[in-house]
A and B are shown apart, each in its own frame.
Chain A
Amino acid sequence: DAGVIQSPRHEVTEMGQEVTLRCKPISGHDYLFWYRQTMMRGLELLIYFNNNVPIDDSGMPEDRFSAKMPNASFSTLKIQPSEPRDSAVYFCASSLDTQPQHFGDGTRLSIL
């Protein structure tokens, strides 16, 4: 079975540009999570969805960040405008009900 698929794997862009990260969860999973990982702050939950509906976005840093899940097989995390402090590894994870989360390989984002 295919795991959680994230794209791109790496993204380097200049500050001020819009960045869109993409995630395809495991088929049949009803929860989708977006995380950010940095050395300073560790692994932070940004937002998560249940059946495509955002449940908790309290971890989203500010209005520059937005996430959508238009259907059960696709989600995006958008940063507009991007800033150097947004540089991090962004993980998407999915799960079925209360089962363990399965993580994608992450997107390594560098904002210059």
Chain B
Amino acid sequence: AQKITQTQPGMFVQEKEAVTLDCTYDTSDPSYGLFWYKQPSSGEMIFLIYQGSYDQQNATEGRYSLNFQKARKSANLVISASQLGDSAMYFCAMRDEDNFNKFYFGSGTKLNVKP
């Protein structure tokens, strides 16, 4: 079974608007970590934001926030005030801390920000 599911292969957003990228995960372990990475066209993988399974509050990092809904097993990334430089692939990932810290990545969402 897929551990991480990203159902949006591609998305468009108007510059300066907010956008939500969906991510659902599958685990029966109580201890895990959720991550989002950005991969621009240049190819590097850039860490954006982290949410621990026991964290009470949603993580935020600048214009990035993670909408963590534990009961629904979702960890959506919200980007506020989109910029042209936000155009990239975005990957959701999970670290299974009860499985020797194994990492699972989703298939990614290609975000295009329109001027």
Contacts and interface: CB of A to CB of B under 8 A. Distances in A.
Contacts of A12: none
Nearest to A30: B101
A111 to B, nearest CB: 18
A56 B102 contact: yes
Contacts of B101: 31, 50, 55, 95, 97-98
Contact of A56 (B43, B100, B107): B100
A100 B44 contact: no
Interface string A90-112: 01010101101111011010000
Nearest to B52: A98
Contacts of B25: none
Interface string B85-103: 0000001000101001111
9 contacts: A31-B101, A33-B103, A42-B108, A48-B102, A91-B45, A101-B47, A101-B103, A102-B47, A103-B37
Interface of B: 33, 35, 37, 43-47, 50, 91, 95, 97, 100-105, 107-108
Interface of A: 31, 33, 42-43, 45, 48, 50, 55-56, 89, 91, 93, 95, 97-98, 100-103, 105-106, 108
